C-alpha cells in the first residue's frame, strides 16, 4: 500500500500543472483533532505533527491527488501520562506503526465550495475506504479545507485489551480537520 501511495503521489506531481505543483499544506496554520467518548464523557485530543501532498484544481476535482501523513506519536490529550499510553501497543502502537495515511481515490464537487473526497484511511496497518465531506473557503492567498468524519476505532485495532470494550471507550471517534493550503486556484 505504501508503494502504491508513493507511486500515485509521484505520478500526480509529475503530471501536475505548474500551479498545482506550487500547492502546499501549511501545518502551522492547520489543525487535526479527534474526540472520543470514555464512559460517556467526551475526551478531546489532537495531532501536533502532520503533512501532506496536495494537487487540486477546483475546476477539475476529479484529477485531484491528496495524501495526508499523520505522525501518530504526536497524538495528545493534554496529559503527559495519558499521552504516553496512546503510544503503546493497545492504542496506536507507534513503535510499529508511526504514521497513519489518507490517500484520495476520487474527488467529487457538490457545489458551493463543498466536495466529497473518497479514499483509503490507513491506521495501524489496516486500510479502510472512507468518504470525507470537505468544505473549501478561500481567505486571501490561503484556502482552508475543513471537515469531519466519524471512524470506528476497533476496525483499526485502536484500543486493545480491556480498552476493546466499547462500553468503556466508545467505538465511534470523531476526527475533524482544518487544513490551510497555499496555491489553490480560485473556487
For residue range 92-130, list pLDDT tens digits in order. 999 999 999 999 999 999 999 999 999 999 999 999 999
- pLDDT tens-digit readout, 49-99: 999 999 999 999 999 999 999 999 999 999 999 999 999 999 999 999 999
Q: How far is CA 154 from CA 30, 161, 162, in A?
A: 27, 11, 12
What structural domains does the chain harbor? 2-182 (2.40.128.110)
Residue 136 Cα distances to 10, 15, 97, angstroms: 24, 23, 31
Residue with grid cell 501532498, as numbered in its chain: 53
Q: How far is CA 28 from CA 25, 50, 179, 181, 184, in A?
A: 9, 10, 10, 11, 17
Q: In the block, which residue shows the cell 501497543? A: 89
Provide CB contacts within 8 A for 166, sequence distance 6+.
Answer: 154
Amino acid at each position: 500500500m505504501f508503494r502504491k501511495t508513493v507511486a500515485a503521489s509521484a505520478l500526480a506531481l509529475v503530471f501536475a500543472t505548474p500551479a498545482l505543483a506550487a500547492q502546499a499544506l501549511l501545518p502551522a496554520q492547520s489543525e487535526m483533532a479527534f474526540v472520543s467518548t470514555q464512559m460517556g464523557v467526551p475526551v478531546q485530543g489532537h495531532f501536533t505533527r502532520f503533512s501532506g501532498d496536495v494537487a487540486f484544481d477546483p475546476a477539475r476535482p476529479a484529477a485531484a491527488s491528496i495524501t495526508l501523513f499523520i505522525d501518530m506519536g504526536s497524538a495528545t490529550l493534554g496529559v503527559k501520562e495519558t499521552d504516553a499510553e496512546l503510544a503503546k501497543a493497545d492504542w496506536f502502537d507507534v513503535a510499529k506503526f508511526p504514521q497513519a495515511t489518507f490517500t484520495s481515490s476520487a474527488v467529487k464537487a457538490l457545489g458551493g465550495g463543498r466536495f466529497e473526497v473518497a479514499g483509503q484511511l490507513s491506521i495501524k496497518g489496516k486500510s479502510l475506504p472512507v468518504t470525507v465531506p470537505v468544505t473549501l473557503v478561500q481567505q486571501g492567498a490561503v484556502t482552508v479545507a475543513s471537515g469531519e468524519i466519524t471512524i470506528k476505532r476497533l476496525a483499526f485495532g485502536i484500543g486493545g485489551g480491556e480498552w476493546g470494550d466499547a462500553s468503556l471507550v466508545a467505538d465511534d471517534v470523531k476526527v475533524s480537520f482544518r487544513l490551510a493550503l497555499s496555491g489553490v486556484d480560485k473556487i
